[in-house]
Amino acid sequence: MAPAAEPAPDDRIAELEARLERLEGSPGLRARGRSLMDRVMPAEAGTHFRNAGREQLLGVRSIVDFWIRRLDESEASAGSGRGRERETIEIE
């Protein structure tokens, strides 16, 4: 089976420009999604969901801060030398 002939460069450019015009003229995915959400969910619910997302991020921040403090405390106590002994290990 012979390969299909490629269109002339001018025809290809015209085709690509037509596709681009169709894409630019139609609403984007985000705009279509927003339109759908506006039809099925009241604005107040969206506000609650945004606030809930913010609260989740604040919760994650609290966990990260907690573990950073624990690491800092363990490094500080390890650096002070309390309860630590130096041991030499012979390697043959």
DSSP type of residue 5: P
What are the boundaries of each domain within the chain?
27-79
Model confidence pLDDT, tens digit, residues 40-87? 999 899 899 999 999 999 999 999 999 999 999 998 887 766 556 778
Model confidence pLDDT, tens digit, residues 7-34? 788 999 999 999 888 877 777 777 888 8
In angstroms, the CA 53 to CA 61 distance is 12
pLDDT at 89: 85
Do 34 and 42 form a contact (C-beta atoms < 8 A)?
A: no
Residue 91 predicted with pLDDT over 70: yes
Predicted TM-score (pTM) above 0.75 = no
Do 84 and 78 form a contact (C-beta atoms < 8 A)?
A: yes
